[in-house]
């Protein structure tokens, strides 16, 4: 049985990747940070399902604690390491630039150095990001496109991407960089614009929210489904040599397009409910991100299965069910609304 070690296991991608690996008969190990309130809600179903098998294991550690990571890696002896951990909200990285960049930069070193020292045969996946490109021009981006980071988050990702490549070339290590364009799901964090939209649609449909306030409605993104993208991650690690890979749908949509599709799915006019506020715009906007994943399609036989409207529909359906639960609790005075523009 292969062993996989995942940082960022409690996040969206951590959940989908863990599920994929477990379905492929891996023994999965993941790190969580010790705190007074541990949020494992995304992976709780996996914890329950595999509680008796020791196939799904969580360990207290932190990317900035190189000593504990080194001990863990030496003890577990994984076949594959997936570095998904990050402060992944771009806007937040402007407000907390130090911790955002420390996690990306020092974190990857905390993993690569023990692997270089103890076992260079371990395969390593670095979660790079389309944000590294900057999105200044309306053009399709691939593995050869130049980076032009526009945020502390993106700058940290460029560092870790390059460091992974340096270790690959300098020490003959199997270091893979996955440059994933925006990928969403019902497990996306609620502060990300796509999930903010789908959550609001559910609440507005059920009369729990009056309007939805967003930032730049003209920003263009290449949106795919997270479940498809973690399959691409795994395929990168099974390829016969390490490389850099772009995963994207090759189709571009504005934020306003996502909002329209989401409201259309419940027979509402998005323009009746959505307002734009500069309060939610970034100090340095990334205007256009569109990816070309021809390399992954040709060499990994990877392509996205869920299209744009299917993704939006999936997210809205899940969030309508959540809104129904909230309405029941509100009607019985068991909770008070904590969301913006609540009715």
User: Which tokens go with 152?
Assistant: 């502390």
Those residues whose C-beta lies under 8 Å from the C-beta of residue 30, and which sit 6 or more positions away, are 5, 6, 7, 9, 10, 14, 18, 43, 57, 58, 59
131 tagged catalytic = yes
Radius of gyration of the chain (CA): 20
Residue from 293, 172, 160 nearest 236 by CA: 293
Residue from 105, 120, 82, 115 nearest 232 by CA: 82
Of 70, 129, 145, 160, catalytic: 129
**Exposure class string for 125-160: b at 16+ Cβ within 10 A, else e:** bbbbbbbbbbbeeeeebbbebebebbbbbbbbbbbb
Angle at 271 between CA 269 and CA 277, to 5 degrees: 145
Instruction: Give the CB-side neighbour count of residue 226, counting CA atoms within 13 A.
Output: 20
170 tagged catalytic = no
In angstroms, the CA 307 to CA 287 distance is 22
Q: With contact defined as beta carbons under 8 Å apart, do 283 and 163 qualify?
A: no
Of 27, 131, 231, 326, catalytic: 131
Write the burial class of residue 18 (CB in 10 Å: 0-12 exposed, 13-18 middle, 19+ buried). Answer: buried
Of 15, 16, 82, 153, catalytic: 153
66 tagged catalytic = no
Active site residue ranges: 129, 131, 153
């Amino acid at each position: 049985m292969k062993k996989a070690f995942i940082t960022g296991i409690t996040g969206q991608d951590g959940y989908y990747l863990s599920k994929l690996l477990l379905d492929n008969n891996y023994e999965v190990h993941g790190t969580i940070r010790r705190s007074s309130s541990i949020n494992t809600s995304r992976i709780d179903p996996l914890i329950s399902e595999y509680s008796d098998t020791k196939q799904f294991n969580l360990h207290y550690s932190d990317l900035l604690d190189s000593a504990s990571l080194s001990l863990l890696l030496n003890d577990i002896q994984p076949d594959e390491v997936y570095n998904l951990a990050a402060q992944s909200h771009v806007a937040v990285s402007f407000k907390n630039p130090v911790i955002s960049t420390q996690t990306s930069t020092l974190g990857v070193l905390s993993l690569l150095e023990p692997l270089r020292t103890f076992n260079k045969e371990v395969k390593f996946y670095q979660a790079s990001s389309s944000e590294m490109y900057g999105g200044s021009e309306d053009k399709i981006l691939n593995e050869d496109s130049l980076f032009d980071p526009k945020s502390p988050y993106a700058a940290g990702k460029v560092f870790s991407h390059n460091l992974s490549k340096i270790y690959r070339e300098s020490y003959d290590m199997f270091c893979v960089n996955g440059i994933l364009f925006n990928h969403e799901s019902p497990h996306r964090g609620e502060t990300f614009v796509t999930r903010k939209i789908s959550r609001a649609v559910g609440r507005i449909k059920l009369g729990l929210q009056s309007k939805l306030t967003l930032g730049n409605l003209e920003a263009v993104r290449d949106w795919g489904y997270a479940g498809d993208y973690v399959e691409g991650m795994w395929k990168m690690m099974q390829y016969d040599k390490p490389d850099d890979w772009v995963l994207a749908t090759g189709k571009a949509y504005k934020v306003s397009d996502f909002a329209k599709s989401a409201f259309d799915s419940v027979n509402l006019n998005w323009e009746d409910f959505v307002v734009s506020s500069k309060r939610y715009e970034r100090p340095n906007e990334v205007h256009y991100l569109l990816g070309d994943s021809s390399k992954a399609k040709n060499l990994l036989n990877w392509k996205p299965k869920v299209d744009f409207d299917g993704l939006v529909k999936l997210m809205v359906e899940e969030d309508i069910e959540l809104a129904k639960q909230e309405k029941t609790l509100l009607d019985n005075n068991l909770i008070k609304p904590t969301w913006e523009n609540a009715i």
